[in-house]
Copies of this chain bind each other. A is one copy, B any other.
Amino acid sequence: MMESKLTQLKNLLGEVSDLQSAAALLSWDQQTYMPPGGAEGRGHQLSTLETLAHLKFTSVEIGRLLDELTPYAETLDPDSDEACLIRVTRREYEKRTRVPTDLVADFARATALAHLAWTEARAENNFSKLLPHLEKIVELRRRYAECFAPYEHIYDPLLDDFEPGMKTAEVRAIFNALRPKQVALVRAIAERPQVDSSFLHLQYDEQKQWDFGVEVITAFGYDWKRGRQDKAPHPFTQSFGIDDVRITTRVYPDFLNTALFGTMHEAGHALYEMGVDHALARTPLASGASLAVHESQSRMWENLVGRSLPFWERFYPRLQEYFPEQLGKVDLETFYKGVNRVSPSLIRVEADEATYNLHIMLRLEIEIGMFEGTIRVKDLPEIWNSRMQEYLGVMPPNDTLGVLQDIHWSSGLIGYFATYALGNLISLQLWERIQQEIPDLSDQIRRGDFTALLGWLRRNIHRHGAKFEPQDLVQRVTGSKIDPAPYIRYLNTKFAQIYGLNGDIIS
């Protein structure tokens, strides 16, 4: 009886998942192969698919099945696929059905207009063009958050869309612990002689860059039978189901890092999606646990593997074979230091490991301030610039290189930025655990053998999909909730070595 209701629920969720996968393919195509003429029609198609998926998911029928199945779920092992499916679906259903349809429509319209305004404002270095749109978005997000009253903090419902179950107070505590350490590290590094990275800015054949990236992620375990790689102006990973997870990469002819680390980053996201248990296919559980956990995977492969010395002991000779003219005379240590160069900069997406989180914290503080009412939208440029000076010691010469650089706010993505930094922290918590369980991990990486690492991630993270909330998952795997200490240890050790710092200054 309950089994048949569960089957009904799965069939309905399967249709929602199919519509979402179809929309994902339309979006992937839009960013890779669609001719410009297709833009208008694609807008209609995506809007229709997304509306239908929303209507189907929030249908009375699914609500009734969830009501009937919830008592049954409570009799099951709470970690079973079935109990998790019912619990996670119910949670999402209740969130989505709390929001009035007209608010959803208003928000869709406002973000469409704001996106256009942002494009213009950025091109013209004119924040005032975006201002009224951003004020509208903040107002609509506030109304959205109010749908979930009572809450501990008005920012909680926004954060919860990206990190289920996470609270503003938790993120704030984590970042408060992290901030002074990262600022101190960046300042200490700034006083040391800079490392050379000029060789990264030579001319590099694009096809060879592509081929080297393919070689690396194939070694990581990226499964080409279940994915592919294409070029896109803004790289992303898109899943159309567990067995079709595609990545995109951009290649610059005069800067090696972009394709090199971008490819590893996206492969990290893809390995996660490809590793979800097939039993969860076509359900809301067939994805990552949260954006932060997702980012922990991409950053792990990009940074903890891809920017590590053991990795380059194995792969640098290969890279030199691809580019003998450019790198033949650059030794391993110089190359390793070069790709790990720390240099406070204006643009988040170009930031190095030591400064990246500071960009995030600045954005999170501004977002929370806007919702607490302590920061007015019109003051954003000034606040942005003063925090940049305070945290990173750099001052944007204009708003295009400052507050206007990111697409997120004009797209209505408020509550999103924190996940990038949280992902970094989680990656190190997992890494310390992995090093305990695979003591010779460095040697394996030095041999180009990633089997044990990927196997560990599959067993402990990937296969669970979205069964567990992020804090719960991290706790299960590492024994503690999200904690900045391992990341601070990692940064201090790594950059002390690269920049010859005195450990006392920064610990």
Q: List A residues at the B interface (Cβ < 8 Å).
A: 14-15, 18-19, 21-23, 25-26, 29, 33-38, 40-42, 44-45, 47-49, 52, 223-228, 230, 240-244, 246, 281-282
Each complex incorporates copies of this chain amounting to 2
| Chain B residue at smallest Cβ distance from A16 | B48
Asked whether B243 lies within 8 Å of A38 as measured between CB atoms, the reply is yes
B225 touches A35 (CB 8 A): yes
Interface centre among A21, A33, A34, A38 (most CB of B within 10 A): A38
User: With A18-B49, A25-B26, A48-B18 given, is the CB distance from A35 to B227 under 8 Å?
Assistant: yes
Residue in B37, B47, B227, B243 whose beta carbon sits within 8 Å of that of A41 in the complex: B243
* Known contacts A41-B281, A243-B40, A243-B41, A22 near B49 by CB under 8 Å: yes
Q: Is B45 a contact of A22 with CB atoms below 8 Å? A: yes
A282 CA to B42 CA, complexed, in Å: 11
29 contacts between A and B (CB under 8 A): A14-B44, A15-B48, A15-B52, A18-B44, A18-B47, A18-B48, A18-B49, A19-B48, A19-B49, A19-B52, A22-B49, A25-B45, A29-B29, A33-B33, A35-B224, A35-B226, A35-B227, A35-B244, A37-B227, A37-B243, A38-B244, A40-B243, A41-B240, A41-B242, A41-B243, A41-B281, A41-B282, A42-B244, A52-B52
Does A41 lie within 8 Å of B244, measured CB to CB? yes
Q: Pick the contact of A33 from B15, B22, B223, B228 — CB < 8 Å?
A: B228
Chain B residues contacting A45 (CB-CB under 8 Å) are 18, 21-22, 25, 240
The listed residue (B15, B47, B244) touching A34 by CB distance below 8 A is: B244
Question: Bound complex: CA of A44 vs CA of B281, how far in Å?
Answer: 11
Report the minimal beta-carbon distance from A362 to chain B, rounded to whole angstroms.
39
Report yes or no: A228 in contact with B35, Cβ–Cβ below 8 A: yes
A41 to B230: give the CA distance in the assembly, Å.
Answer: 20
Q: Using Cβ atoms and an 8 Å threshold, which residues of chain B touch A49? A: 18-19, 22
Closest residue of B by beta carbon distance from A230 = B33
Smallest CB–CB gap between A236 and chain B, Å? Answer: 16
- A47 neighbours in B (Cβ, 8 Å): 18
C-alpha spacing A49/B36, complex, angstroms: 25
Residue of A29, A34, A36, A41 contacting most chain B CB atoms (<10 Å): A41
Cβ of A225 and Cβ of B25 under 8 Å apart? no
How close is A275's CB to chain B, nearest CB, in angstroms?
A: 13
**Which of B22, B36, B223 is within 8 Å of A22, CB to CB?**
B22
Contact of A36 among B14, B21, B38, B225 (CB under 8 A): B225
